[in-house]
Structure 1
Amino acid sequence: MNKLTPVQSVGGLLFKRDDLYEPFGPGEVNGGKMRQCMMLLDSVKDEITGVISCCSIHSPQAPITAAAALAFGKRCKILYGGTSRAKLLESPMPRLCLKYGATVLLATRSGRHNVLYAKAKELKGPEDFIVQYGINLSGHSDVLLGAVAAQVENIPDEIENLVMTCGSGITASGVMIGLNRYGKKVRNVHLVATAPDRRESIHRTLREHGADRDFIYHDLFHTEGFAYEKPATAVWGGITLHPNYEAKTMQWFVKSGLDPGSTLFWIVGAAPRNIPAAGRP
């Protein structure tokens, strides 16, 4: 489950290819978040019979959770809100959830995470486990951050720039804990934010693990015209980057002036390709 994914030099730029963690095969859900969810459910599998998660209809977290639940033989409910049943039928991520055997529910009028999470807690049975936003950190930090930190072992010992997308901040925190654990000398860690500001929680997590350090924060989320659900396109040396995450970070990188020859670009995951045609949830 925690086998090292490769570091590759492509077109003069180093990539950490965590998208090549593909436990269900090429084209299926993949990447560091998939590994985190697998390790999370592995740590609680003997205590639960069901899994619940809630997120945006555009988020890969839902099908990741559904696939991990299927792998461990657990029933799964995915809660969505702020949309219509017709929109669910049209959307790739809910269709993937169905493919992996989850029950997809239009659970709330609002799509706000706090409203969906409250509904998830309401529906939670005594043997259910809620996979939270970003994949749970509270109460499971050793499992989740360890799943990421271990992947730092095979990156170069000295790097001028490390560039990665920052959403929930959990993966970013894990990578920086790994830098400390393996004694990697990275001069500049660039976090390119596609979500609200997580700097405070990242520093808090790093302090808790004795790994606090400076990083450079680039806020895409609050730039004019930015929308999480609006896809971007970026390809580097034949690597097609995730339209909601790394593609946006790559577009930033190309304009940043950073030298590709002294940079490692961390790919958390790739967009699934094997998405079924529209069906009825």
Structure 2
Amino acid sequence: MKSDINISALTPVEKINGLYFKRDDLFRPFSGLKVNGGKLRQCIHIVQSSKPNEIVTYSSMNSPQLGIVSAVGKHFGIPVKYLVGGSRDTEYLRLARGQGAEIIRQKPYRENYLFSQAKKISLPGSLLIKSGIIQPSMLAEQIDITSEQIMNLPDEIDTIVVSCGSGLTTLGLIKGISRYGKKVKKIWLISTAPDRREFIQDEIRTQKINSNIPKLNFYSLYDNGNFDYNLKKTFSIGDICFHPRYEAKTFSWFIQNNKFIKNKTLFWIVGSEIL
């Protein structure tokens, strides 16, 4: 399965008003689509490596995973079956259908149930992509792919701020800092999902990341009692408009509630709005 997409190409680091931004949202290889980011890079690798006859996946009806997996399936000419709960239509569902995905409604719509149903309809030759585009059988490869993006971080960076959902991006950052000898001392994980710190620590040991590991600071928006995934927030710095369900919430919280040093802090943009 061939593709002219270079998933190892480094996305730029930009500096705005003394703050650094890793622009992984500028990984946007599909002409005419806004689908972008580190999760897209991961999905392309998983599909290319697996060479499936079809893709089966599932998520919330408001997840950008809808657009990402559907666009990758269309690019490689692979049918996509997408399980979601509920009965409403959303912009993400319309995007997925526009890329040729078959939408399969389920009740109830809890993640564990969607996963069990996705396994039931997966056939020999199917690729089942889990929610969050984290593939246990390829986890080491996924971590390595993200770790490469650390290479062009300026040496003065000592703090990285990142939205934490599945924990996969965080693991890539930790491995990249260790692998390329970067001087980052601290990573702030701002969580928009259940706490993944135990998973992250387990994988640090499993992946044998033994040196130059930064301190992990953690704050959970998910557990603060007021978090609503579906509620959009508008937040921008310079000409960067952050994803309304992820970075807009995490970065605005961090800037409003923490002291940090300009010229030494980098905000890692996993992806921007795909609509």
Query: Aligned-pair RMSD on alpha carbons?
Result: 1.3
CA shift digits 1:227-272 (9 cap, x unpaired)? 1111111100110000011101121122122233320000000101
Identity rate of aligned residues, in percent? 38
- Where do 1:100-111 residues align within 5 Å? 100-106=99-105, 108-111=106-109
Residue 249 to residue 229, structure 1, CA distance change in 2 (3 Å): same
Aligned twin of 2:96: 97
Q: Distance in 2 between matches of 1:26 and 1:66?
A: 14
Aligned twin of 1:156: 154
Report the residue type matching 1:102 in the other structure. A
Q: Distance in 1 between matches of 2:172 and 2:135?
A: 11
Q: Distance in 1 between matches of 2:161 and 2:26?
A: 18
Aligned twin of 1:179: 177
SS in 1 for 2:100: coil
Offset of residue 26 of structure 1: 6.2
Q: Contact 1:158–1:184 at 8 Å: present in 2 too? A: no
SS in 2 for 1:215: strand
Residue 223 to residue 134, structure 1, CA distance change in 2 (3 Å): same
1:169 aligns with 2:167: yes
Pick one of 2, 5, 8 that aligns with 2:8.
2
* Count of residue pairs brought into register by the alignment: 265
Normalized against structure 1, the TM-score is what?
Answer: 0.91
Offset of residue 28 of structure 1: 1.6
Aligned twin of 2:272: 270
SS in 1 for 2:128: strand
Q: Contact 2:58–2:130 at 8 Å: present in 1 too? A: yes
SS in 1 for 2:263: helix
Residue 196 to residue 37, structure 1, CA distance change in 2 (3 Å): same
Offset of residue 142 of structure 1: 2.8
Normalized against structure 2, the TM-score is what?
Answer: 0.93
CA shift digits 1:69-121 (9 cap, x unpaired)? 1111110011001x11xx12xx1111110111111111x21111100000001
Unaligned runs of 5+ residues in structure 2 are 1-6
Aligned twin of 1:224: 225
SS in 2 for 1:35: helix
Q: Contact 1:177–1:211 at 8 Å: present in 2 too? A: yes
Q: Distance in 1 between matches of 2:248 and 2:196?
A: 20
